[in-house]
Amino acid sequence: MDLNLKNKIVVVSGSAGKEGSIGETIVNRLADEGAIAVLVDRNARGFEYVERLQKRGVNSLFVQTDVTDPLAIENAVKVIGAKYGRIDAIINNVGVNDGAGLDSSYEDFMNSLKLNVVSYFLLAKYSLPYLKESKGNILNIGSKVALTGQGGTSGYAAAKGGVLGLTREWAVDLIQYGIRSNAIIIAESYTPAYEDWIKTLPDGEAVLKKISKTIPLENRMTKTEEIADTALFIISEKSSHTTGQFVFVDGGYVHLDRALISDVN
């Protein structure tokens, strides 16, 4: 399906994770559609990713940015504006389940908020003049933790709850400009970070198998490609009358009857 994203300027935060991460997968899917992906991330890995895309003949830009620094985000948007003169969509994809729980310090809790929700606000804030001009849209990547809880991760849970609140608030706030705001909610996706966590466990493969059995549809993890494909559809004109929505890409993990779950023992 042609999503009409060719030459659209799409800014993706948290897009220089390891190969196979959600952000990196989104960037590659954008490139496949002919969009111009702008990577915003603090990891220098982004330079390598953009170089690969450029070798494919794909226009792309990496702006190395500490997304917990307001000035850095403001400057990143200035760089993007100076190069391209417009922004058609932003995908707020930053997310680190950092385990800042009730036993953590105030500083750790606040740092979790800065990374996982304040960065979303700042990228939207500074991109807004361009989005108004393009009648673009915002897509926030959320987590089931905002709705189900998890335990031991107050900062991340609060931040992801805030992300959903902002998604609806911005849908209301920006409807006068024709700007759409939506969120994707992910449950269990087998990202490189997830794999790294599994490897730290004494019996990681058994844990992974047990978790996979709790996912109703096909008893498997959500693929990052499935998240990326949904993301591109939502930011495209094919979703032109969709705003303020939470789209669950989770194999039924959050909503479906627990009777569907396989024996997890």
* Interior/surface letters 186-204, b for 16+ CB within 10 angstroms, e for the rest: bbbbbbebbeeebeeeeee
Number of structural domains in the chain: 1
In this predicted structure, the answer to whether residue 244 has a pLDDT above a threshold of 60 is yes
pLDDT at 140: 98
210, part of any domain: no
Is pLDDT of 210 > 70?
yes
| pLDDT tens for each residue of 110-159 | 999 999 999 999 999 999 999 999 999 999 999 999 999 999 999 999 99
pLDDT at 229: 98
| Spatial distance between the Cα atoms of 80 and 47, rounded to a whole number of angstroms | 15
Residue 143 inside a domain? The answer is yes
Share of the chain above pLDDT 70, in %: 98
Are the C-beta atoms of residues 119 and 23 closer than 8 Å to each other? no
CA atoms in the 13 A half-sphere facing the CB of 86: 12
What's the CATH number where 109 sits? 3.40.50.720
Asked if residue 265 has pLDDT above 60, the reply is no
Task: Please give the pLDDT value at position 32.
Answer: 96
Cα(136)–Cα(243) distance, rounded to whole angstroms? 12
Say if 204 falls within a structural domain.
no
Render pLDDT for 48-106 as a digit per residue (tens, 0 to 9): 999 999 999 999 999 999 999 999 999 999 999 999 999 999 999 999 999 999 999 99
- 26 within some domain: yes
Domain membership of residue 78 (yes or no) is yes
In a domain, 172, yes or no: yes
User: Does residue 262 register a pLDDT over 90?
Assistant: no
Q: How confident is the model at residue 19 (pLDDT cuts 50, 70, 90)?
A: very high
Q: Which residues are catalytic?
A: 156
- Tell me what pLDDT residue 263 has: 64
* Residue 24 resides in a domain: yes
CA atoms in the 13 A half-sphere facing the CB of 224: 21
What tokens were used for 56? 């494919």
What does pTM read for this prediction?
0.95
Domain that holds residue 150: 9-191+222-252+256-260
How far CA 74 is from CA of 42, 120, 206, in Å, comes to: 14, 12, 45
The answer to the question of residue 265 being in a domain is no
Question: In the numeric block, which tokens belong to residue 81?
Answer: 């504006």
> Are 59 and 35 spatial neighbours (Cβ–Cβ below 8 Å)?
no
